Structure 1
């Protein structure tokens, strides 16, 4: 069963809208965490709060996560434009963003898992453990969503490239 270029573009646009929602969710989560982290009204005071945020890389992850959300939104719009203008090379640039997001999330998740296994944080209170679990859960969910979108994109992107290339090739009937 073969589908035409219009069907592939519609599927790609659905993927781009899902990626746009992924970017908005990333921006919303890290924006909220930015507000929470820099308000820092924990019972152990501002000095311990700054130490905790620096040691866990949560403040660095929040700052990078805000940038990640903006980049996701921009690349989703770029993907929409590439699909509407039939530009395969521009559509494949989206894959760079997906790989970058996977690398950033993988780096922070690996660091947090290694830190959690070291037991250096035995002096944390329950709020610190809850906050650490929130970041790990969000990182895992955002990474899995990005892997899913990347898998679907490779299928759609390959089909899109093939269909556009096939459409632009001159046939024997038009050359004569």
Structure 2
């Protein structure tokens, strides 16, 4: 891989920041729709039936998506913060955890966009004036889905390189530890186990010296002392007087 670990982390953090902006955009759009719907008051020139019809269609088609969108926008920065921390801490498992949020958002958007398009003509029997918010919801759903798909492709490239780099560094560290342990073990064995030849030579010289010393010094009978070989021979050679 041509990218360094530092560059890979930088790209990952940059992508997380873009996704945070994506989450804030989602939160802002659905928060605005929620406030407009919550404080909506029909204008005086609008027929009451049209007003209730519009409120009914909104509650059937867009209210649930608005609530889910608020949760979606609020959770996105949390997942991105986890992603940034995982990149800094070199934790590939937590990095891939981001995919749960990504696939969830894509699935929700695809479901609701498909639902809106399928049920487009199912409310013709209701007397209501179609509002611009229907078009806004459709465009926002498609745009947010495309943005998330682009971030998903970028994330998969970055996460794959990051995982490879972390695995490579861990493998290199394990090899270094094994080689260091092997070197220390060899040094310890060499220092604690002297050569057999040297040990035998020391023993032989020690025994020869002890044997020579024992033959030069013989004990006197009836005493604890000892005489050397010369004095003992002179004692034995003294003439006896009659």
TM-score, normalization by structure 2: 0.67
CA distance in 2 between counterparts of 1:82 and 1:44 reads 56
Give the TM-score normalised by the residue count of structure 1: 0.90
Match of 2:55 in 1: 50
Partners of 1:70 and 1:159 in 2: CA distance: 29
Aligned residue pair count:
172
- RMSD between aligned alpha carbons? 1.8
Return the offset for 1:44.
Answer: 4.5
Structure 2 residue aligned with 1:157? 159
| TM-aligned CA distance change 1:155 to 1:37, over 3 Å | same
SS of residue in 2 equivalent to 1:89: helix
CA distance in 2, matches of 1:130, 1:144: 22
Greater relative CO, 1 or 2 (CA 8 Å, sep 6+): 1
Superposed, 1:1-176 pairs within 5 Å as 2-42=2-42, 43-45=46-48, 47-56=52-61, 58-116=62-120, 118=121, 120-121=123-124, 123-125=127-129, 128-170=130-172, 172-176=175-179
Give a deviation string over 1:151-176, Cα, whole Å, max 9, x none: 10000010011111111113645522
Deviations 1:69-94 (A, max 9, x none): 01111111111111111111001000
Deviation, 1:149, is 0.3
Residue segments in structure 2 that go unaligned for 5+ positions in a row: 180-242
Unaligned runs of 5+ residues in structure 1 are: none
Larger radius of gyration: 2
Q: What is the CA distance between 1:129 and its match in structure 2? A: 4.0
Q: Distance in 2 between matches of 1:159 and 1:20?
A: 22
Instruction: Return closer, same or farther for 1:129/1:54 CA change in 2, 3 Å cut-off.
Output: same
